Chain A
Amino acid sequence: MSDQQLTCEELVEIVTEYLDGGLSDAERERFEEHVVVCSGCANYLDQIRMTIEIAGRVTVDDLMEETKTELLAAFKDWKRE
């Protein structure tokens, strides 16, 4: 059975594929069976999930105000045509 087991080092490289639903059913089961028995990898998976969650709260830069104003002017022009 050891020939089929994932190591932790391998698992951390497919975690993105796992979360995106990109693994086959068999690979997915191998991944999940590993996480059940390995607290280190269970924590790692949690950490990646939290990383995504925290990234979702980050605010991003906006378009320059003058560009926005110009665009709105262009929209008004188009409307008049």
Chain B
Amino acid sequence: MDTVDSSYVPPPGQAAIVDALKRGDEHTFSDLVTEYSPSMLRVARTYVSSRAVAEEVVQEAWLGVISGIGRFEGRASLKTWIFRIVTNIAKTRGEREGRSVPFSSVGGREGEGEAAVDPNRFLDSGRWAGHWTSAPSRWSELPEEQLVGDETAGIVKAAIAALPEVQRTVITLRDVEGWSSEEVRNALDLSETNQRVILHRARSKVRNALEEYLDGEQT
């Protein structure tokens, strides 16, 4: 409840979902489990040692949702509330497992010192030092089918999969699942700066992979 501000207005439809859960409506519960569990797993995975433990955390979190929904008062979004539960359980499990390195410091290290774009792409001296030597191309001029095609989405998926874990988690939550930066910061216990640095490194690498693929095909 630490991030709730007093002007909070719940998203439309939330009250109906919460009521349905309190009534014990199975469809609503099942839909929520389907919708949120993949992200919950991803969040849990960043705190604990294995996928199996992360699954246990998610399961425990849902049990926490079931037993706690009666006390949910709608002062934060349901999503924020659910992910607070996951994060707390995962953190406790991680500590018990002896994963002593706090996530946020790992995140900081992961982003450090990497350039978004190969430094060789920029002039290193002269009157236009720091400007492009080979400028990025206009993707909007590529055939539409290529940009929306499955193959291009596949390149992005593979590039995300190849990222270090923290970067992969953050970009998946932000860009694949469309979370806000605040939601990601809350779920992963990241500072604003850390969240941004990690997302920045992740997006830059995915763009690089796309550029290699899209511009490679052109020539």
Contacts and interface: CB of A to CB of B under 8 A. Distances in A.
A and B touch in the complex (CB under 8 A): yes
A66 to B, nearest CB: 10
A12 B116 contact: yes
A58 B176 contact: yes
Contacts, number: 139
A21 to B, nearest CB: 9
Instruction: Sort chain B's interface into a size bin.
Output: 35 or more
B210 interface: yes
B210 A16 contact: no
Majority SS at the chain B contact face: helix
A75 B28 CA distance: 11
A15 B116 contact: yes
Give the interface SS of chain A, mostly helix, strand, loop or mixed.
Answer: helix
Nearest to A74: B63
Contacts of A41: 132
Contacts of B105: none
Contacts of A56: 175-176, 178
A72 B29 contact: yes
B46 interface: no
A48 B29 contact: no
B37 interface: yes
Given A8-B131, A9-B130, A74 B62 contact: yes
Interface string A7-34: 1111011011100101000000000000
Contacts of A48: 203, 207
Contacts of A38: 131-132
B210 A54 contact: yes
